[in-house]
Amino acid sequence: MRKCFSNALGALTATGALLYSLPAVSHELDALLDCTSNAHAFIASLQSDQFIEPQPMHVEANSVNAFRPTRDSQLTAFGFRVYAVLGYAHDDELFHKGKGEAMTGSIYGVVVFGTSEAVQVHLHDAGSDAVVHEVLPLIMTAVLCKAN
pLDDT value of residue 20: 40
Q: Round to whole Å and give the CA distance between 75 and 96.
A: 23
DSSP code, position 69: B
* pLDDT at site 24: 56
pLDDT of residue 51: 97
Is 65 buried (19+), middle (13-18) or exposed (0-12) by CB count in 10 A?
buried
pTM for the model? 0.81
Choices 3.90.1150, 3.40.50, 3.30.1330, 3.30.70: CATH for 24-147: 3.90.1150
**What per-residue confidence (pLDDT) applies to 25?**
65
Domain borders along the chain are 24-147
pLDDT 10s digit of each residue in the chain, 148 long?
445 444 444 443 444 433 343 345 689 999 999 899 999 999 999 999 999 999 999 999 999 999 999 998 999 999 999 999 999 999 999 999 999 999 989 999 999 999 999 999 999 999 888 999 999 988 999 999 997 5
